[in-house]
Structure 1
Amino acid sequence: MLVRKGWTTKVFSSLALLATLATTLVTADEHSHKYTELEEVVVWANSVGPFSNRQETYEYFQLPYCKGEGKVEHRHETLGEALLGMELVNSGISIRFGQSKAVTPICSRRLLTPQDVKTFSYAVAHDYWFQYFIDDLPVWGMVGTRDKETEQVSLYTHQNFEFEYNGDQIISAKVTPGQPVPLISSQAGLNVDFTYSVIWKSTDKEFKSRFERYLDSDFFENKIHWFSIFNSLMMVLFLTGFVSAMWIRHLRRDFARYDKEAGLNDFDHDLGDDYGWKQIHGDVFRPPVNPMTFAAFVGTGHHLAWTSFFVILYTIFGQEWTERASIMTATIFIYALTSMISGYSSGSQYAQYGGRDWVRVMFLTAAFWPASVAIVTSLNNTIAIYYTSSRAIPFGTVMALLFIWLCIVLPLTLVGTILGKNWAGKADFPCRVHPIPRPIPEKIWYAEPIVVIALGGILPFASIFIEIYFLFTSFWSYKVYYVYGFGLLVFCIVMLVTASVTVVSTYFVINTEDYRWHWMSMATCGSTAAYVYIYAVYYFMQKTKMYGLFQTSFYFGNTALACMAIFLILGSVGHYAANKFIMRIYRNVKLD
């Protein structure tokens, strides 16, 4: 604890006393992960839901489970937990640290009504499972079992908890359901005993290794993953070599030809080769179509790119994948605290091309991505409410997000826009813009922007294809993605690939005397998002067993948001590289 100078000795002593008392009284809990002998270990019930539909979750006690004795309380949720539908409730199962138990009733004998039997039967027939959190360790178990031949469903009525501990810390936790009881819908009532047992085992495993059992190293660190990284690195070397060769060979030849033409007299100049990118020097810095929207796209893309970079770094150094919903919470606050980036980028981009309505571009930039997320989330939330799912976002969480946008995102975007238009908004173009636009000549079919855009997204998609598969498997299936070092490397690779491909494509287009390079440079590698979405459709149909309106809407809605983010990130990076390229080559040419 740091104490400022100037505080009185009395205040200092009081704070020291309070700290000492807090340390003495709070010696063991699930926050410190240290327990005393026979201290209560809370079993937090999180959710139930169908095994094939990971996002379709419901509150644990929506199934008529038996509640243990004692007060059943809700645990305080973080912002990320609320957004991910985590609602932890004390199950009432009495477990004490280090105390093994034989078969023990969770509560008194329970009479299941015909409706309860019907509810459990539906859950078992649809392969429902439940999730607990014990000392922040997730544990899972099936609700029941189904005979594939007779279609008879049976409810598991016993839960066997197995713990490993080292000293005063829990290293692992596991629950194994058992004692199936057949469920018959025609029964007037069914008496069941919900029971549990506890086994504690000592181990010499270290506390820091407690999450290793959840990690599938054979899946994420196999030869295919390493080969994919190596292949992407080779692609980067090839592309950077190609761009360098273009600079050395083609551009030097162009500079030499233009310098030669500049030395000719008017008659000889008319007989020269009048073609190439120099001919559009009076139009190449013409403002893009709909400059306000374009500026908002560029600013949002830069913002999302830096947010992604910082989140990956935060996760690598903080090991935040081990904490419940911490990555979601961190992403929200990193996005909010870096909002100045979007304002600065969009404000400078808009001002450079003569834009004056900077207030509107600021609001558009600040609201575009949050509004897109809000629209998709609202549709999904409506479906979640209809299904009474725990994935429905509470009203208080919505208000908290709105507060973050109003009090952090909007003011920082305003500051960034003002700085961008004042510090970097001056048009420093090497060529003046002609008042009358030059007609764009006809060109061969493969030089059309739409073709260049369609082909431009292939190489970036190829560089991230394998990583996309691992991310999809992690998010939509039951794998814990933890190789964020690989993720950072792939992120850097795709940025380099995007810059290289966009520079080559831009040179190709302006060399056909087409000065519409702004939107083209954004869409060239931004088209990677379309390939990702097509792959997502294939993944949904071939690699998952998802079904129903709930999961389909969540899958395709959230995937659409991810693809939009990919478009904006790669598009803004591509435009940045193309802009630097355009500025550089026109500064090196003698103009008439």
Structure 2
Amino acid sequence: MESFREFSLWVLAFCLVFQLGYGFYLPGSYPHKYGVGDELSVKVNSLTSIDTEMPFSYYSLPFCKPEGGVKDSAENLGELLMGDRIENSPYKFKMYTNESEIFLCQVDKLSDEQFKILTKRIDEMYQVNLILDNLPAIRFTKKDEYFLRWTGYPVGIKIQDVYYLFNHLKFNVLVHKYEEPNVARVMGTGDAAEMIPPVGKEGSDKPGYMVVGFEVIPCSIMHNADSVKNLKMYGKYPSPVKCDPATVGMPIKEGQPVAFTYEVTFEESDIKWPSRWDAYLKMEGAKVHWFSILNSLMVITFLAGIVLVIFLRTVRRDLTRYEELDKEAQAQMNEELSGWKLVVGDVFRAPSNPALLCIMVGDGVQILGMAVVTILFAALGFMSPASRGTLITGMIFFYLILGIAAGYVAVRLWRTIGCGDQKGWASVAFKAACFFPGIAFFILTILNFLLWGSHSTGAIPFSLYVILLLLWFCISVPLSLVGGYFGARAPHLEYPVRTNQIPREIPQQRYPSWLLVLGAGTLPFGTLFIELFFIMSSIWMGRVYYVFGFLFIVLILLVVVCAEVSLVLTYMHLCVEDWKWWWKSFFASGSVAIYIFLYSINYLVFDLKSLSGPVSATLYLGYSLLMVLAIMFTTGTVGFLSSFWFVYYLFSSVKSIYYNTLIVEVGDEFPYFIKFKQHEYERPSFIEKKYCSFLSERRRLKRGEEMAGGSFATDSVAKERAQQYKGRVTLYVIITCIVAATGGSLFGYDIGISGGVTSMDDFLQKFFPDVYKQKMHAHENNYCKFNSQALAAFTSSLYIAGLVASLIASPVTRKYGRRMSIICGGMSFLIGSALNAAAANLVMLIIGRIMLGVGIGFGNQSMKVHGRELV
């Protein structure tokens, strides 16, 4: 009771101390109160275009300049890297004061060069970006009875080879009355430096307003040049100006002056200040994100089942038998000698280019840590688009700080591969700090020269280059060396088994292993590609991306899928006696970068059709290449570390039949073998080959004898075989059945997804516009989506193709073998998935569905028979 009373007193004291505390709103934007008649200043950002992806300064075009001259606003590192150049503008308002026919200026007659630049910017669809109280100007256009939201307004428009300039702007400012002046006091910087007056301060009782919306309507008006000769800036235009966006009246001609005017109206709104960014951050298609996450969860469940079966098989069956070797006959142990157990003396043999592998893994850890922390902070609201440039700035900051993790991981892995040798750790740590940043600086320098040559504001200034280099060599490199120092002093991981002096010969495979490595990237790509579309649209189409919660979930799912895929492939390579798993485990999950780069090219061809000029295409491919390399390092690191942990756990848990016990005793059947121990003998490779061939032949003959009996054995023989088999329902059997059933559930899940997708508005609007129009007028007609033959063909194409494929699968399987049929069916399924993911039209969509059906038909026919034969 006494302790509770003491706790209550502490809580009361805490409340008394902080009752005068001030709150502030995250993320990055702060309330700013204006009184009636207070001046509002509009700022301008760089001109942007989705046609060129090269920003230019607002004053590179013949626009009016402010009376006091052009002044740059203070910008952070992220804004400069993104190409933002925020400057003051001549547009000024008075809070809650409507004004019209305000004359701004009349620029001089357009020169030949100005005329060419202006018309070129109109052809390239450049947008003017205005900012009021940290809110970008937005405009609304109507299309098919729907209002579309755009950021900024176009410089002009071209109609029948005639260029028109938007020289009159109609502003609509939404304001919300500040009704509670004594609630909070906020801190701010820049435009938000003015604080809301707290209780008891002078002026706190005056009515005030906060800006919650900023809309603009551009118009093209033919002004009378003679009537504006004697007008000064902000003077009253002598005649009424009627702004009609549907009509144009100011054609651009060489040698003609241009006059600019504007008007502004204020409208009180119910939108609260914390919700003013909702109009910008509103993201459509939340169902698509959830479908993507659910699909990824299904894939993870399937892979997790496979991984669990592998562990149960290796740990619960094989390892248990090894622990009981003293109780079993030696000949029976010899029969079980196969697969991954044969590479026990080579599995930890150092890979080729070990230093490069350590460096790439260290850089991957650094990039992955940066991505996780940045996206987590963004999901929590600390990096909102309301605070420009904070996302890029945060990424750079976290990347620099995590240099210590890169150095530590790279050096410790280097010492593990070198069996504890500390020689060269400083070189590895330094290279880890310079490898990926060096590649990034090389690519950015080439792209920067292109931007400099085009006089774009997207070019990184030389001073910023110097700052980035200082941050690199003064923060990232020293931290990486510090991490390497701790990695060199940390105890290295000792291998559980000894490596043979003579490398074991890897059996020749029917198919090259790199095909399997490349194909493994399709599963991580399937987890990522839907979210990738939204990210690409945000970067290259000027759309706002603010669903970092979805992105964080997708990132976690991607990490899990990469780990599972790489682990399964490593186990498959070990089972075929391929001990060179180091680089393959890295590229098994890292190969997703290839598919992302191919998707980037597909996005360039089909979605960025308006992208013009070789410079713009080079910029796009350069930035895409940089993104792909970062993803390859990240996913490859996840796959390698998970595989390394799996291999280390596997071979540290097993009691090796080669080294920890007497290895072989076959006796009279195979006289070449003798008893020997690890410290006494080294196993001869020629004996190993003969012994393996001997075991394979004996297992084949024994299997043939058992199969010869078939199902026509007598009751006594059947009973004897049942006793020998000692079959029982184990956890391994249950998990195997669950994994097998997961395939059927995936097929059913695909049917459900297909049905759900065909009802989504975005899908119908892109591929079936006629069905979409009928759906929008469902109350006027007898709407049914299956009235469309094209939509019915899309839905049924998979099932018809699967039915036909299952009929022809049997003769094909009989002629070419079940394994080849299963591989071809799987490849058909993967190709169909890729076509569906990258579909730009209905034909690609249906072809992809047909390929999916062929894969399902062949798999459904071949897998069952092949599974029974394996049993």
The TM-score normalised by the length of structure 2 is 0.61
Q: What is the aligned partner in structure 1 of residue 630 from structure 2?
A: 565
Work out whether residues 597 and 625 of structure 2, in 8 Å CA contact, stay in contact via their aligned partners in 1. Answer: yes
Query: Secondary structure of the equivalent of 1:376?
Result: helix
Partner of 2:303: 239
Query: In structure 2, what is the equivalent of residue 151 of structure 1?
Result: 161
Matching of residues 23-62 of structure 1 within 5 Å: 32-53=31-52, 55-62=53-60
Matched, 1:194 2:260: yes
1:512 to 528, 551, 576: 576
State whether structure 2 residue 359 is matched by structure 1 residue 296: yes
Q: For residues 271 and 392 of structure 1, what CA distance do their matches in structure 2 show?
A: 68
Task: Note if 1:92 corresponds to 2:90.
Answer: yes
Q: 2:210 maps to which residue?
A: 169
Question: Following the alignment from structure 2 to structure 1, what is the Cα–Cα distance between the partners of residues 60 and 653?
Answer: 70
**Post-superposition offset of 1:184:** 5.1
Partner in structure 2 of residue 556 of structure 1: 621
Q: CA contact under 8 A between 1:136 and 1:324: conserved in structure 2? A: no
Matched, 1:130 2:194: no
The 4+ residue runs of structure 1 with deviation greater than 6 A are 260-266
Q: Report the Cα distance in structure 2 between the residues aligned to 1:64 and 1:238, rounded to whole angstroms.
A: 61
- Structure 1 residues 92 and 532, CA gap change in structure 2 (3 angstroms): same
Partner of 2:868: none
In the alignment, the residues of structure 1 paired with residue 526 and residue 473 of structure 2 have an alpha-carbon distance, to the nearest angstrom, of 39
CA deviations on 1:542-576 (whole Å, 9 max, x unpaired) are: 11121212321221111111111111111111111
C-alpha distance in 2, partners of 1:113/1:303?
Answer: 52
Secondary structure of residue in 1 paired with 2:127: strand
Equivalent residue for 1:103? 101
**Equivalent of residue 66 in structure 1, options 61, 64, 74:** 64
By how many angstroms is 1:33 displaced?
2.7
Distance of 2:364 and 2:645 partners within structure 1: 17
Query: Structure 1 residues 261 and 280 mapped into 2: Cα distance closer, same or farther (>3 Å)?
Result: farther
C-alpha displacement of 1:517: 0.9
Deviations 1:454-494 (A, max 9, x none): 12111111111211111111111122111111111111111
- The Cα offsets for residues 157-197 of structure 1, whole Å up to 9 and x where unpaired, read as 11112111113311011222112454455x4x212211111
Aligned pair 1:480/2:521, yes or no? no
Alpha-carbon contact 2:64-2:90 (below 8 Å) kept: no
The equivalent of 1:26 in structure 2 is none
1:130 Cα deviation from its structure 2 partner: 1.1
Distance 1:230 1:98 in 2: 49
1:440-463, Cα deviation, whole Å (9 max, x unpaired): 122231xx4302211211111111
| Equivalent position of 1:416 in the other structure | 483
* Deviates most, 67-76 or 33-42: 33-42
RMSD: 2.1
Distance 1:407 1:71 in 2: 37
Stretch deviating more after TM superposition (502-511 or 430-439): 430-439
Aligned to 2:453: 386
CA contact (8 A) 1:295 1:347 kept: yes
| CA distance, structure 1, for counterparts of residue 176 and residue 165 of structure 2 | 34
Aligned-pair CA distance for 1:403: 1.4
SS of 1:580's partner is: helix
2:326 is the counterpart of 1:314 = no
Deviation at 1:198, TM superposition (A): 1.2
SS at match of 2:641: helix
Give 2:611's aligned amino acid. Answer: M
The 1:262/1:360 distance shift into structure 2, 3 A limit, reads farther
- Equivalent residue for 1:213? 279
Compute the TM-score of the two structures, normalised by the length of structure 1.
Answer: 0.89
d(CA) in 2 for partners of 1:321, 1:408: 26
CA distance in 1, matches of 2:318, 2:581: 19
2: CA distance, partners of 1:283 / 1:271: 20
How much identity, in percent, do the aligned residues show? Answer: 31
Counterpart-to-counterpart distance in 2, 1:564 and 1:122 = 35
Rounded Cα–Cα distance in structure 1 between residues aligned with 2:168 and 2:494? 74
Answer whether contact 2:106 2:257 (CA < 8 A) is retained.
no
**For the pair shown, which has the larger CA radius of gyration, 1 or 2?**
2
Match of 1:343 in 2: 407
Cα-to-partner distance string for 1:241-265 (whole Å, 9 max, x where unaligned): 2211221135433335555778778
User: 1: distance between equivalents of 2:465 and 2:544?
Assistant: 27
1:584 to 649, 659, 676: 649
Alignment of structure 1 residues 241-390 onto 2, 5 Å: 241-256=305-320, 258=322, 268=331, 272-322=335-385, 323-354=387-418, 356-390=423-457
Residues 69 and 107, structure 1, Cα contact 8 Å, conserved in 2? no
Deviates more, 1:289-298 or 1:120-129: 120-129
Matched-pair contact (CA < 8 Å) for 1:522–1:574: yes
Question: Once the 2 structures are TM-superposed, how far is the Cα of residue 281 of structure 1 from its aligned partner?
Answer: 1.5
Gaps spanning 5+ residues in structure 2: where?
A: 1-21, 23-28, 138-151, 178-208, 222-247, 660-871
Cα distance in structure 1, aligned partners of 2:50 and 2:519: 39
Change (3 A) 1:38 1:488: same
**Paired letter, 1:292:** A
Letter in 2 for 1:217: M
Partner of 1:16: none
- Give the number of aligned pairs: 553
Q: Is the 8 A contact 2:64 2:107 kept in 1?
A: no
